Amino acid sequence: MGGDNAPGQILDGAAQAANEYGIDISVVGLPGAVQPLLERHPKLTLVPCTQVIGMDEHPAQAVRSKPDSSMNVCARLCRDGRADGWIMATALFVQGRIRGVERPALGSIIPTQHGFAYFLDVGANVDSKPEYLVQFAAMGAVYAREMMGRSEPRVGLLSNGEEEGKGDELVRETAKRLKGTLRGFIGNIEPKDLYAAKADVVVADGFVGNVAIKMAEATAEFLFRNLRDEIPKTTMGKVGGMLIRGQVRQLRARIDWREFGGAPLLGINGIAVIAHGRSDARAIKNAIRVTREAVDAQLVGKIRAEVGR
């Protein structure tokens, strides 16, 4: 019931995933809104809810005051073992934390010169303490190992300079604690080195990480829009623009968040993949793929073991 394109695109993406990946998918929503659309999607099962959280409501309060909203129903399905994982359009802690986890963190996949890096926290927390970031680093390393096939992930701290001693107080203190305790810790990392693929995992406070990732998205959007507007202003540009269209489209697809679908909230007692609020069918299909990969990788158990250590 959430996101800009619900329920139509969500159901389309879910149906594509059911077909393509051969997994059982339940969709949770108001029967009146969802049931009529399910005729086209016989593989999807409706699990009804009776309440909906409006766009104008305070999300965390609404989750508490509306126990039968789709978010709560999803979390219960997962808690009761009737679902292995679920997808939501906002990073709310509807499910409890793994014992020992200070704060859950939200990760995001970032394209780099040589593939992808995993960047967290991109928005689950603000005003993090060093002990949170130390755990984000450990949980991020588990993610890179189990979900991205990096057997010995290199973990960096996003900072304003790579030299030791650079950073704000949080980064400096976190670096001190990670040094010598986290295998694969490579110290501070600057944005340019993130793109140069010098780390598999990049750690930041959720305010800094959110601003950083939004800055990257906004910069890319700004540049592509300017190229699209400026290039056709000359006749040569018009022709050239048509000739490069295919290559540009390929590059855009490679860095498009819709291809990654989403990423699970790390540190909670279950698999909840956070998808973009603007998700279309393709993004939802990919979010379901990520959910299945996290389930298959037993991500929750692996993080539990790592945090217990």
Taking the complex as a whole, the smallest distance from the CB of residue 194 to its own copies amounts, in Å, to 7
Q: Which stretch binds its own copies (CB under 8 A): 44-52, 88-96, 217-225, 256-264?
A: 217-225
Size of the residue set binding its own copies (CB under 8 A): 58
Binding-site member from 60, 226, 296, 305 for its own copies (CB under 8 A):
226
- Alpha-carbon span 114 to 160, nearest angstrom: 23
- Binding mask of the shown chain, residues 235 to 264, with x at each position contacting its own copies by CB under 8 A: -xx-xxxxxx-xxx-xx--xx---------
Q: Which of 219, 224, 228, 170 is nearest to 191 (CA)?
A: 219
Binding-site member from 65, 221, 253, 296 for its own copies (CB under 8 A):
221
Binding-site member from 212, 283, 288, 290 for its own copies (CB under 8 A):
212
Taking the complex as a whole, the smallest distance from the CB of residue 231 to its own copies amounts, in Å, to 5
**Which amino acid type is present at position 241?**
G
Would you say 40 or 176 has its CB closer to its own copies?
176
For residue 306, CA distances in Å to 130, 182, 302 come to: 18, 11, 6
104 in helix, strand or coil?
Answer: coil
**Can you read off the two tokens belonging to residue 307?**
């945090």
Per CB under 8 A, contacts with its own copies among 146-185 are 158-160, 167-169, 171
DSSP notation for 174-232: HHHHHTTTSTTEEEEE-HHHHHTT--SEEE--HHHHHHHHHHHHHHHHHHHHHHHHHGG
- Alpha-carbon span 304 to 269, nearest angstrom: 9
Residue 54 touches its own copies, criterion: CB under 8 A: no
- Alpha-carbon span 77 to 160, nearest angstrom: 43
Residues at the site binding its own copies, with contacts judged by CB under 8 A: 111, 113, 123, 126-127, 158-160, 167-169, 171, 190-192, 194-195, 204-208, 210-212, 214-227, 230-231, 233-234, 236-237, 239-244, 246-248, 250-251, 254-255
